[in-house]
Amino acid sequence: MRVHRQALVAVLLAVAAPPALAVLNPQALVWPEKPLPGEPTAQTSPAPAENQAAASPNLADMADMARRARTGGRNSLDLSVEQAVALALEHNPSLTAQRLQPLITGTFAAVERAVFDPSVFARVETSREVAQRVSEDIQQNFDVRSDDELARVGVRQTLPTGTELELSLEQDLSTSNRSPQQAGTRLGLTLTQALLRGFGIRSNLVALRQARTDTLASAYELRGFVTALVADVETTYWDYLGARRRIDILQNALAVAEQQSREARLRIEAGTVARVEQAAFAAEAARRQQDLIDGRAEAERLRIRLLQLISIPDEIRYQRALTPTTDVVTDAAPLDAPADYVALAERRRPELNQARLDVARNELEVVATRNGLLPRLDLFVTLGQTGFARNYGGAYDELDGGDTYDLSGALEFEYPLGNRAGRALDRGARAGVRQAEASLENLERVIDAEVRYAVIEAERAAAQIEATAATVRLQQETLDAEQARFDVGRSTGLLVAQAQRDLLSARLDRINAFIAYRQALIDLHVANGSLLTRRLIDAPGEQPPTLSWQK
């Protein structure tokens, strides 16, 4: 199955555009429903037609699916809902911009990590001094000329423990007209350790962990954006398909109204029907013409909207005719308990996971501000060994055999009286945690209600499918009876036209019920955070965040 899905993606993307998805990977273009909590199983109800077709795809079907996406000439496009989503994921410019955000945010984590990278330093210095001195013996002035050369190289690093290390090698050469040439080589190690403020891994990794938290949050933000885009594409697709179906119904109703108007005219001419009956049929035909004009305009608007979402790179993009090829599913599967969908939303909704990261980020800020309340107490230790000789080589050799060394240590204490700034920052950080927790709790309640609303709407839309079927059947019977009474002169054209209008309204309500059911399922899957998973679309942020430092 996975090989087949990958083959299908390759075929479709070859038709659509050359670049491959970097962050998002639609693994399948025919969507079998995955057995997630809150999803009807195949044992409870018949699977939709498109899901049955997806049960055993083959390469011939995949090639045919891609071929249908480009048939009908350059100005026409046969499009299934799966193809529409795949094209949008590949070409939508807003998604192209949005999926770069995690990459941009991730660079900040790299910047914070670089604080603990070792660095190499080097310095070369030369100087000359010409001065006069007074001899204590003969009380005369004399000239002193000296030349100095200094070279220093080393490596330094800051550790997460609050330790700064520096290892250096230094060589200097002094030449003077009053003393012999002398070279010195020193190997030194300097350690600076924070004992209070700035001590410990937890406080020193706050900035890095916050940056990584922001990177995770950007992944959830991207998932939310992709979910909204997929839902928008599917909803628009079903709206467009419904508009096309309504046009068919209105065209048929117009043809029937015009036919009845002609028949009424013939009956008037034959003298079997009063002339006043003609107006009712003519008015009904005119009304159907008005509805058809509005329906075509709405379908055209939705066609342009759908082309905008899929964003095929083409100079004649908006001139393309679209033909929806996905069948309308007329069977509604039973839904699970609302609690199952709510439990799924608690794990999958990207907004909730972003809010959890916001709480974690504010908790890290408290760690930093709590550390800022401490006084600064730093320990400095310097250890070195020096060799002296008349040249560089000899001075370097003396490092091994010589007994010269230097050692120093110091403690430095600092504390601002009152520490007003530190206390204010700490209070603000703790308030930020409480605020983030309150926002998370409120969001959980909002999403709980949103999921339950979506379940109610899906159940309502499913029930309307069967109810509208009964309404259409009864309205057809009513029209047939009214027409029969009119044929024998026991009814009027106005009543027949009213019955036709009621039948048309029932048929439009039925197609609206089909579309509303599909869109209600989309809204339910968005509400519980499982839409992308059900569509087998690979996007970051599928699972709740796991933060290692919180374990």
Residues 242, 239: Cα–Cα separation, whole Å: 5
Tell me the per-residue pLDDT of 44-67, one tens digit each, with 9 for 90 and over: 333 333 333 333 333 344 334 444
Tens place of pLDDT per residue across the chain (551 aa):
333 333 333 333 333 333 333 334 433 333 333 333 333 343 333 333 333 333 333 334 433 444 444 444 457 889 999 999 999 999 999 998 998 999 899 899 999 999 999 999 999 999 887 776 666 665 667 677 888 888 899 999 999 999 999 999 888 888 876 677 777 788 889 999 999 999 999 999 999 999 999 999 999 999 999 999 999 999 999 999 999 988 988 888 888 878 777 777 777 676 666 676 677 778 878 888 898 999 999 999 999 999 999 988 876 678 888 889 988 777 778 888 999 999 999 999 999 999 999 999 999 999 999 999 999 999 999 988 776 666 656 556 666 666 777 889 999 999 999 899 999 999 999 999 999 999 999 999 999 999 999 999 999 999 988 888 888 888 888 888 877 877 776 766 667 777 878 888 888 888 889 999 999 999 999 999 999 999 999 888 888 888 776 65
Amino acid occupying residue 423: R
Torsion angle of C-alpha atoms 385, 388, 391, 397, degrees rounded to 10: -50
Alpha-carbon separation of residue 286 from 36, 162, 290 (angstroms) = 50, 84, 6
Question: DSSP per residue over 411-480, as a string?
Answer: EEEE--TT-HHHHHHHHHHHHHHHHHHHHHHHHHHHHHHHHHHHHHHHHHHHHHHHHHHHHHHHHHHHHH
| Residues 66-109 pLDDT 10s | 444 444 445 788 999 999 999 999 999 999 899 899 989 989 99
Beta bridge partners of 189: 167, 383
d(CA 15, CA 310) in angstroms, rounded, equals 13
388 φ, ψ to 5°? Answer: -120, 145
DSSP letter (8 states) at residue 335? P
pLDDT in tens, 156-193: 999 999 999 999 988 888 887 667 777 778 888 999 99
Q: pLDDT (tens digit, 9 = 90+) per residue, 178-234? A: 677 777 788 889 999 999 999 999 999 999 999 999 999 999 999 999 999 999 999
Q: How far is the C-alpha of 469 from the C-alpha of 23, rounded, in Å? A: 44
- The per-residue DSSP string of 17-65 comes to -SPPPSS-EE--SS-PPP--TT---TTTSPPPHHHHHHTS--HHHHHHH
First to last CA, the chain: 38
Taken as a whole, the chain contains a residue count of 551
Domain-by-domain residue ranges, the chain? 2-107+209-360+431-550, 118-159+163-197+376-414
Task: Give me the CATH code for the 2-107+209-360+431-550 domain, please.
Answer: 1.20.1600.10
| Stated pTM of the model | 0.76
Q: Say if residues 415 and 376 touch (Cβ distance below 8 Å).
A: yes
Q: Which residues contact 171 (CB under 8 A, 6 or more apart)?
A: 150, 151, 152, 183, 184, 185, 186, 392, 395, 396
